[in-house]
């Protein structure tokens, strides 16, 4: 009897503990490309002109206790992934580019970055926040490569033990056009082009020696306080009754995800030696939007913790951190941090879904 109790205790303790489910030593480095969902400081180092709020508290208040350039109150999905593999938080490329080589991974993501080149948007008079698009970030990676390895064989050996995160990227390729007045119908035909930029980056990295790559899909941005405020509709059938999110926008992001998965399947056939994982950000977050209180989000999923008022606490003339904005007492009770980015506790839950909950395929943790 006593033995049984101990056995059950050991089982419960160890199944739920990080030590067994995490995988320290599996990778020697993580390289990340992306936007504000994973930027750990590059945009801040470029001046953060388009989002000055990110330079100061309350950004960073929960975990780092100062602003780091992360668009949240604390850690991002990339930070939880680094933790799971026993690696340090990724330094932003722009902070380390001129220093000694960093052998445990570097972050190339920049707030506002697009998968397509900025010229595509400027030709249509669509304003962007940064010109450090995916191809600029890939160029930074290539610049840095010679400091990490020299011969082809040495690079192969090193990158074989690295994890490459290609995104999330592409969300801004829809968001900025939406903010400039484009409609879902106008943007749907762009999906193959945007996905094409992501899969080209993925194959380029494989050609450079990457073997393990994680390629995330989109979040349901139609659930963000920003979209719910700017694109509100008097028509109740514009909203998903199970979440309160805007259906047409989310349908576009799901179409992107389906298209991306088809294209990744083609890449897997082209590069059978590579392990190309798809991360289902959408699927991992939908349960939270359906029943936020079940996950401890007592403030609900749609109202931003930090903002300048209104039904979703989103006011474009008083964004999070601006004069006139306020921040909630307990960010862990909120999903939405500043109207478009999520809180640390939402990112933590989603990261657990990716690592342990079956939302990456093939699985990130073996």
Ligand X SMILES: *[C@@H]1O[C@H](CO)[C@@H](O)[C@H](O)[C@H]1NC(C)=O
For residue 36, indicate whether it is catalytic: yes
Reduced to 3 states (helix: H, G, I; strand: E, B; else coil), residue 191 is helix
The answer to whether residue 322 is catalytic is: no
Q: How buried is residue 111: exposed, middle or buried, by Cβ count under 10 Å (0-12/13-18/19+)?
A: buried
Torsion of Cα atoms, 172 then 177 then 183 then 184, to 10°: -20
Q: Active site residue: 39, 79, 280, 338, which one?
A: 338
Nearer Cβ to ligand X, position 238 or 267? 238
The H or E element containing residue 279 is strand 275-279
Nearest to ligand X of 91, 308 (CB atom): 308
* 280 a catalytic residue: no
Rounded least distance, CB 117 to ligand X, Å: 10
H-helix or E-strand containing 229?
A: helix 225-230
Smallest gap, in angstroms, from Cβ of residue 321 to ligand X? 12
Q: How far is the CB of 311 from ligand X (least distance, A)?
A: 9
Binding site for ligand X (CB under 6 A): 118, 128-131, 235, 237-238, 308-310, 315, 317-318, 324
Tell me the chain's radius of gyration from C-alpha atoms.
20
Is the peptide bond between 179 and the residue preceding it cis, with omega within 30 degrees of 0?
no
Q: Which is nearer to ligand X, 184 or 351 (CB)?
A: 184
If the CB atoms of residues 88 and 309 are measured against ligand X, the closer one turns out to be 309
Q: Of 132, 224, 256, 341, which is the active-site residue?
A: 341
Our CB check for ligand X shows the closer of 328 and 346 to be: 328
- Nearest to residue 187, comparing CAs of 125, 115, 260, 253? 253
Residues ≥6 apart with Cβ < 8 Å to 98: none
Q: How far is the CB of 338 from ligand X (least distance, A)?
A: 14
Q: How far is the CB of 115 from ligand X (least distance, A)?
A: 16
Helices (H), the chain: 2-16, 18-21, 42-45, 77-84, 93-96, 118-122, 134-148, 152-160, 171-179, 184-187, 191-207, 225-230, 247-270, 281-290, 344-356
Measured in whole angstroms, how far is the alpha carbon of residue 61 from the centre of its chain?
19
Q: Which residues does the annotation mark as catalytic? A: 36, 338, 341
């Amino acid at each position: 009897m006593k033995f049984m109790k101990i056995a059950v205790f050991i089982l419960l303790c160890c199944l739920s503990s990080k030590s067994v489910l995490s995988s320290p030593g599996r990778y020697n480095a993580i390289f990340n490309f992306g936007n504000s969902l994973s930027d750990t400081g590059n945009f801040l180092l470029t001046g953060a002109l388009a989002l000055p709020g990110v330079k100061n508290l309350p950004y960073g208040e929960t975990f780092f206790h100062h602003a780091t350039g992360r668009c949240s109150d604390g850690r991002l999905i990339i930070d939880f992934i680094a933790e799971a593999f026993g690696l340090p938080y990724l330094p932003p490329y722009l902070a380390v580019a001129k220093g000694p080589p960093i052998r445990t991974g570097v972050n190339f993501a920049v707030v506002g970055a697009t998968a397509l080149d900025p010229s595509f948007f400027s030709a249509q008079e669509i304003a962007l926040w940064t010109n450090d698009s995916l191809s600029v970030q890939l160029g930074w990676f290539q610049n840095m490569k010679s400091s990490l390895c020299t011969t082809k064989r040495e690079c192969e050996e090193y990158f074989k033990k690295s994890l490459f995160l290609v995104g999330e990227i592409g969300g801004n390729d829809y968001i900025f056009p939406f903010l400039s007045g484009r409609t879902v119908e106008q943007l749907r035909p762009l999906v193959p082009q945007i996905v094409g930029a992501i899969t080209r980056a993925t194959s380029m990295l494989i050609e450079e020696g990457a073997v393990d790559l994680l390629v995330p899909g989109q979040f349901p941005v139609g659930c963000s306080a920003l979209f719910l405020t700017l694109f509100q509709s008097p028509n109740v059938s514009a909203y998903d009754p199970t979440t309160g999110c805007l259906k047409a926008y989310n349908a576009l992001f799901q179409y992107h995800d389906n298209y991306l998965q088809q294209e990744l399947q083609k890449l897997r056939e082209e590069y059978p030696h590579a392990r190309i994982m798809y991360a289902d950000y959408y699927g991992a977050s939908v349960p939270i939007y359906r029943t936020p209180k079940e996950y401890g989000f007592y403030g609900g999923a749609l109202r931003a913790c930090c903002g300048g008022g209104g039904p979703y606490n989103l006011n474009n003339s008083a964004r999070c951190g601006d004069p006139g904005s306020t921040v909630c007492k307990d960010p862990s009770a909120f999903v939405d941090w500043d109207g478009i980015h999520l809180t640390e506790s939402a990112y933590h839950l989603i990261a657990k879904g990716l690592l342990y909950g079956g939302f990456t395929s093939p699985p990130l943790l073996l």
